[in-house]
Amino acid sequence: MTGRTDLDDLQEHSLTLELGALAHAADAPPSRVDIPAAVQSGRRLRRRRRRVRLGATALALTAVTVGALLAGPGHAPTPVPADVQRGPADGWQGPARWHLPGRVDPHDPIRSTAQFGWLPPGAGAKGYTQTGWRSDALASGKAAPGAEMRETFRLFVYPRGVDPAVKGARDPAMKYRLPAPDVNGRRAYWATSNAGQPVSTMESLLRWQSADGRWVELTAQYVPVPGQERTLLRIAASATVADSAVPVPVSITDLPEGSTGDDSGFGMDNWLSDDTSDTNWSVAIGWQLHGYDISLTAAPYTEATDQQLRQLASHEQQACETVKGLDVCLTHNGPDKAPAALTAVGGLKGLLKHVRVFGLDPANWTTHVLP
């Protein structure tokens, strides 16, 4: 990498070099790829296929069972035994088998299971994101002096009955559990890849049990090690574990026929700043229409964001409008020819007429997002 890309010189060779530099950037955290786990999981899938081929009864999908106990505080650092971490027989089952407490309400697609309380100075920007199987509260801070990346904090509450030390530990590299001081009187530990070091700058994991028994996980990235343990414990102690709906500034009153959110429902991310007068947030809602991905995004209007939003995508794949101070855009990712169901409602521009916008004031926002 030899400095900023010169647009006039963004030729193919240059792009190859730039992509190579990006892929080899020094900010990569340690890999979590676990080949033995892949083999184990692959074996399980093979067995299942064989059974299906033999006409055996399909394996019943059951909720993840839990059983092994955590090492309590005061124990010496111990790696989680592989057969415990990955389960006694079937290996990593994946989050798809976690049974969430109730399905996502399509009218209210984003729910928060945890909220930040205290955050270190500079870490004001907060957000939420929800996948089919997990909901995270996120917070982002400033980059430490000399650091390349911003401090990032992520709160995740495991579904009831799921012990991350037994199953669901998607991070096999974090195989050591080091005792941590109790969080609000409840047991806690650091999950780490280094038996001698509870936290690191790249990534640290603190887990503790909430009052209702669910395990909570705080992930920190790019936080300087000095003082980090204290900071994370303070964040953990002030975090709240509670299910709540997250209001957003847009809703859709009608959807083209055939719109689907797959098995999980509709997706949504949002980012909010503590300062509601700030223009530093956005909301994205996504769904599918006959194989096309459609996104509805909303962000406060500024000259810069407006220009960028409008120019990043080609015209036929995006329709934008500024309403009540918000830049609202609909985008589809797919071949040029839009699905007939979308054409039937007037394309993205027509669909935009079915979007209600509630403005910049969070007091006016809604949790009733979809029809």
Task: Enumerate residues 220-279 that contact another protein by CB under 8 A.
Answer: 221-222, 261-262, 264-269, 271, 279
Q: Which stretch binds another protein (CB under 8 A): 38-46, 53-61, 78-86, 181-189?
A: 38-46
C-beta of 70 vs 320, nearer to another protein: 320
In the complex, what is the shortest distance from the CB of residue 281 to another protein, in angstroms, rounded to a whole number? Answer: 7
256, 342 contact by CB (below 8 A): yes
Does residue 363 touch another protein according to CB under 8 A? no
Does residue 58 touch another protein according to CB under 8 A? no
Six token digits for residue 174: 């974090």
C-beta of 73 vs 122, nearer to another protein: 122
Q: What are the φ and ψ backbone dihedral angles of 85, each rounded to 5 degrees? A: -65, -40
Residue numbers 290-349 binding another protein by CB under 8 A: 291, 293, 295, 297, 299, 302, 304-305, 307-309, 311-314, 317, 331, 333-335
Does residue 354 touch another protein according to CB under 8 A? no
Does residue 43 touch another protein according to CB under 8 A? yes
In the complex, what is the shortest distance from the CB of residue 183 to another protein, in angstroms, rounded to a whole number? Answer: 23
Give the x/- contact pattern for another protein in 167-186, rule: CB under 8 A.
Answer: ---x----------------
Pick the binder of another protein from 68, 90, 152, 322 (CB under 8 A): 152
In the complex, what is the shortest distance from the CB of residue 222 to another protein, in angstroms, rounded to a whole number? Answer: 7
Residue numbers 83-142 binding another protein by CB under 8 A: 125, 127, 129-132, 134, 136, 138, 140
Q: Which stretch binds another protein (CB under 8 A): 22-30, 159-167, 210-218, 345-353?
A: 22-30
